[in-house]
Amino acid sequence: MPKSMDERIVIVDIDEKSLASVGRWPWGRNKLADLVNKLFTEHKIAILGVDVVFAEPDESSGLQHLKELAQSELSDQAAFLAKLQELSPRLDYDGVFATALAGKPIVLGYFFTNDPQGRSSGALPSPVFSEEALAGRTFEAPEWTAYGSNISSLAAVAPMAGHFNSFTDQDGVVRSVPLVAHYKDSYYESLSLAMFRAIVGMPRITPSYSKETFLPKAFQGVDKMLLVQGDKTLGIPVDRRGGALIPFRGTGNAQGGSFQYVSAADVLQNRVAKGRLKDKIVLLGTTALGLFDMRVTPVGEAYPGVETHANMLSALLDGHILVKPDYAMGYELVVLVFSGLVLAIGLPLLSALRAVILSTGVLVCLLIMNLWLYLGYGLVLPLAGALVMTVTAFALNMSYGYFVESRSKRDLANLFGTYVPPELVDEMVQDPDSYSMKAMNREMTVMFCDMRGFTRMSEAMEPLKLQEMLTGVFSRLTSVIRTHRGTIDKYMGDCVMAFWGAPVESGDHAQLAVKASIEILQVIREINEEHRLAGLPQIGIGIGINTGSMCVGDMGSDIRRSYTVIGDAVNLGSRLESLSKVYGVDIVVSEVTKKSTTGIIWQELDKVRVKGKEKAVKIWSPLGTEVQLSSSLADETKLWAQFLKMYRGQLWDQADVALLNVSRLNPNKFLYGLYAERVASMRHLPFDSDWDGATNFETK
């Protein structure tokens, strides 16, 4: 929390200024006694925590040397002995300091260590609980083998004390402190916890255990330190080692940081304003570099050790303790699996933009959830692994899409690019293994589109101009076919062959083919208008469309192959294209195709039997869409249907009347003239009961 000052806590700092003004460290304890007295009597502080240990007696007054003189050379000088007796209380700096400490709310500091020989000094305070309180449960608090504590005379008058050890991680950074430490068969509290207990009325400490009661006691770890006072209980969460993360408020700056710093020299020399420290929680520590109480922390490479205790005490006062729980690894595993599955399933199915959105969404959700647990519940849970996994999954997916799918797309484009519209290739890339050039039978629709009058034009036009014109026409026809998801099979002179339903399957292939043919007629009209203005010959078009089972795949020889369709249904489509000239229409469609479409107005042309087909088929021509249906066109199709009924029933007189009526609605239509000639010819023939009304085209 940068620039957030905790006004409750003040650090009295033995800084470089103090060393320069008062003298080098260690100071005589008479000076420290003076400092303590000023803090309590003049500045009225609430409590003092001392981040310094007094492990050895203070002999800086020279009292010990005077006593040695009194016992030797000056032992017969009564005046000297009397004077020494008078000066002893003032020269006993440890006694002076002990007197200053006595009866005041002071928490001394000490430390634990792992000395190979187990050498200890000073007197330990009373432990907060023993191993018996664990009742056989697991507690992984670090066990120390030695300690450095305050001398007995000081510990006796200030029995409240707390250790100032910290946990140093493998990278050399201090991120947490043990709230309790294990020595022999007892547990001792930290400096910050001891000060907090002194502030709130000295509740007793008892360990609390995780709630997994189905586990044996040996697996039920400590997860809280309970402060119990009467019927009130306060739980302080701890990790498996009995530690808590330090909630650093700032970067450890004595000049306007997160805690108010006051130089010890200013207190001793009365340069601190009265009332500035009243009722403050004071920590006595040092930031002088020569006293080696700087630590590497996540927020600073030279962070005052005393400020780590200030941060921890501030968190205890606020009830916001940060802890990495025992289940952190399980939580991370669940998050990795869940978010990994979301990405593994979602990314391959999405486009690049949507993959970015999904990955960003996962990152944001991970961050929000982690921040919510951190701010709301003080839980410090792993985040980096999930973030790295998300970014890595996205990067791998993008790399796969770029290198592998791009190659698949290139391979498919090489196979189908000259036949299939690019948008169909994009669809095929989503599942490239489903597409190949292998031959297979499939229900499809084929279209033959032939240019009328091409032979005459080729004789009258120069080759280059003919080539230019033919290229322009075919390009525009190809564009229409591709727009309607058709696959170009081949160009055969002045004819374009296309099909629908392969390589990408389509349930509406007949509908697409018919719509494409109707749009081709519109394009031909536009081309003819352009040719008229440019003085070029007009062109006509004939289209045949059929739907049925066809064999599609890579066909040809070892020298040259082509992705094409073959089969009886394809042959019929070709025959229908040639019949367009016979009936004077632009489009001829089989009945199977007609039945597979919707929204189209149809006119039945005839019932024909073409070469190679024993069974007659009905053929139709589209007149437009249903939205274009006019009343006159509706009347025309109705009358035409009546005519065909009379015609196939060999009722020639009634057929003449019906044909006359329909011809009046559209007198210039070639189809009606064709049937007028047929009726005139067939009325002279005897009635044929075996005639099915079909026209035979054995040579077509």
Report whether 158 contacts 108 (CB < 8 A). yes
Classify 86 as helix, strand or coil: helix
* Alpha carbons 364 and 387: distance in angstroms, whole number: 10
CATH number at residue 462: 3.30.70.1230
Q: 190 and 49 in one domain?
A: yes
Confidence of residue 86 (pLDDT cuts 50, 70, 90): low
What's the mean pLDDT when you consider all of the chain? 87
Section 672-685 average pLDDT: 90
Q: Is the pLDDT of residue 467 over 90?
A: no
Query: Which pLDDT does position 493 carry in this prediction?
Result: 82
Instruction: Mean pLDDT check: name the lowest of 202-206, 334-338, 458-462.
Output: 458-462
Using the predicted structure, report yes or no on whether residue 81 has a pLDDT greater than 60.
Answer: no
pLDDT digits (tens, 9 = 90+) for 135-145: 888 888 989 99
pLDDT at 423 over 70: no
Looking at residue 645, what is its pLDDT? 92
pLDDT band (50, 70, 90) for residue 610: confident
- Is the pLDDT reported for residue 128 higher than 90? yes
Boundary-marking domain end, from 359, 380, 413:
413
**Do 370 and 479 share a structural domain?**
no
Domain assignment of residue 138, yes or no: no
* 153 pLDDT tier (thresholds 50, 70, 90): very high
The domain boundary, picked from 288, 318, 348, lies at: 318
pLDDT band at 613 (very low <50, low <70, confident <90, very high): confident
Q: Let me know whether 388 and 442 are in one domain.
A: no
| 654 in the same domain as 552 | no
Report if residue 365 sits inside a domain: yes
pTM of the complete model beyond 0.95: no
Is 129 part of any domain? no
The 10s digit of each residue's pLDDT in 360-415 is 999 999 999 999 998 888 889 999 999 999 999 999 888 877 776 666 666 666 66
* pLDDT reading at 22 higher than 60: yes
- pLDDT in the model for residue 619: 95
**pLDDT attached to residue 622:** 93
pLDDT recorded at residue 454: 75
Q: Identify the domain boundary among 358, 380, 413.
A: 413
The residue ranking higher by pLDDT, 136 or 73, is: 136
Query: What is the model's pLDDT at position 87?
Result: 55
SS3 203: coil
Query: In percent, how much of the chain has pLDDT > 70?
Result: 87
**Domain assignment of residue 313, yes or no:** yes
Share of the chain above pLDDT 90, in %: 58
Tell me how far apart the alpha carbons of residues 294 and 371 are, in angstroms, rounded to a whole number.
29
Could you list the residue range(s) of the whole structural domain that residue 503 is in?
A: 435-597
Q: What string of H, E and C letters represents the secondary structure of 285-339? A: EECCHHHCCEEEECCEEEEEHHHHHHHHHHHHHHCCCEECCCCHHHHHHHHHHHH
Q: How confident is the model at residue 3 (pLDDT cuts 50, 70, 90)?
A: low
- Going by pLDDT thresholds of 50, 70 and 90, the confidence category of residue 426 is low
If asked whether residues 480 and 572 sit together in one domain, one would say yes
Of 36-40, 350-354, 596-600, 620-624, where does mean pLDDT reach its minimum?
Answer: 350-354
Q: Rounded to an integer, what is the distance from CA 431 to the centroid of its chain?
A: 24
The reply to whether 50 and 112 lie within a common domain is: yes
Instruction: Say whether pLDDT at 516 is over 60.
Output: yes
For 60, half-sphere exposure in the C-beta direction (CA atoms, 13 angstrom radius) is 15
| 500 is a domain residue | yes
The answer to whether residue 428 scores a pLDDT higher than 70 is no
pLDDT of residue 283: 97
Confidence of residue 151 (pLDDT cuts 50, 70, 90): very high
Q: Are residues 647 and 575 in the same domain?
A: no
pLDDT digit string, tens, across residues 647-669: 999 999 999 999 999 999 889 99
In the predicted model, is pLDDT for residue 417 greater than 70? no
Residue 635, pLDDT above cutoff 70: yes
Is residue 544 a contact partner of residue 577, using CB atoms and an 8 Å limit?
A: yes
The total of structural domains in the chain comes to: 4
Contacts for 551-554: CB closer than 8 Å, 24+ residues apart: 551/439, 551/440, 551/441, 552/439, 552/440, 552/441, 552/442, 552/444, 552/499, 552/501, 552/502, 552/503, 553/437, 553/438, 553/439, 553/440, 554/437, 554/438, 554/439
**pLDDT at residue 45, as a whole number:** 97
192 close to 110: Cβ distance less than 8 angstroms: no
Residue 212: the pLDDT is 57
Summarize the confidence of residues 632-637 as an average pLDDT: 85
Residues 585, 500 share a domain: yes
| Confidence (pLDDT) at 79 | 60
| Mean pLDDT in residue range 570-584 | 92
In a domain, 215, yes or no: no
Q: Tokens at residue 688, please?
A: 């044929």
Q: Are residues 66 and 172 in the same domain?
A: yes
pLDDT given for residue 325 in this prediction? 82
230 found inside a domain = no
Question: Given a cut of 60, is residue 75 above it in pLDDT?
Answer: no
Average pLDDT over residues 47-69: 78
455 and 400 assigned to the same domain: no
Instruction: Evaluate whether residue 127 is within a structural domain.
Output: no
- Per-residue pLDDT reduced to its tens digit, 240-292: 899 999 998 887 766 657 899 999 999 999 999 989 999 999 999 999 988 87
Q: Both 336 and 463 in a single domain?
A: no
Choose the weakest-confidence range: 138-152, 243-257, 347-361, 598-612.
243-257
> In a 3-state reduction of DSSP, which class is residue 355?
helix
Are 167 and 22 members of one domain? Answer: yes
